[in-house]
Amino acid sequence: MAKKGKKYIQAKASFDRNKRYDLGEGLRLVAESSYARFDEGVDVAIRLAVDPRKADQMVRGTVLLPHGTGKTIRVLVFAKGEKEKEASDAGADYSGSDELIEKISGGWLEFDKAIATPDMMSSVGKLGKILGPRGLMPNPKVGTVTFDIEKAVKEIKSGKVEFKVEKAGIVHVAVGKISFGVEKLLENIKALLEVIIRAKPPTSKGVYLKSIALSTTMGPGVKIDPMSVRNVMKLR
């Protein structure tokens, strides 16, 4: 633990913790300060000028990251008949109906995302207390309750991620791995920011992007100047 602590301190000392860097430079600093022996994940935390306690200021949605997250996502689909076969053909790791519901009721949760056809939701709803707290409940708002099973499965497998603003007004999203390199990470972050900016509630006042920070799984956070995002994304 002491050795890990020393490396963390060294990483933290390699840049100015109080400075806000432009997005590209911040990503380079995050990559250079990575010290773990494994391929660390890269996360972005965006603080928005919203109050998520108000229904008209809730920011949530999905984004298809052009280079994915670098993680293998295990997808489960609740479906019957032809839709169950469609799920399997599309690459779902698990597909089925009552047998899966029974298995999950017994405590099995070896999957990362769940999709359901609309006709299955009356049965899947019984798993609300199990799936809900874990963020695994299918939801039509993020495209995981649908009859277009093939599209839903392929999008999740190729890098579609969900985001939802937390109580403090912060959105946390994993945007890739250190091994991606700066350019691919930058493209993923730009895709995320574009969607979040489009999702700005009309009732949000002041500067919408209040703060942005980047970090790796083990490393310290690097502050990003929100105004630099406009230059990188060429926003008006």
Locate the domains of the chain by residue range: 16-69+160-233, 75-158
Q: Specify burial of residue 98 (Cβ count, 10 A radius: 0-12, 13-18, 19+).
A: exposed
Average pLDDT for the chain: 90
Range 16-69+160-233: architecture per CATH:
2-Layer Sandwich (3.30)
Query: In this predicted model, what pLDDT tens digit does every residue of 83-96 receive, in sequence order?
Result: 999 999 999 999 99
Annotation: CATH topology of 75-158: Rossmann fold (3.40.50)
The verdict on pTM exceeding 0.85 is: no
Asked if residue 48 lies in contact with residue 209, where contact means CB atoms within 8 angstroms, the answer is yes
Pick from 180, 171, 147: nearest CA to 65: 180
Query: In this predicted model, what pLDDT tens digit does every residue of 58-82 receive, in sequence order?
Result: 999 999 999 999 999 999 999 999 9
Asked if residue 39 lies in contact with residue 217, where contact means CB atoms within 8 angstroms, the answer is no
What is the β-pairing status of strands 75-78 and 113-116?
A: parallel
Phi then psi for residue 206, to 5 deg, are 80, -160
Helix (H, G, I), strand (E, B) or coil at 41: strand
pLDDT band at 130 (very low <50, low <70, confident <90, very high): very high
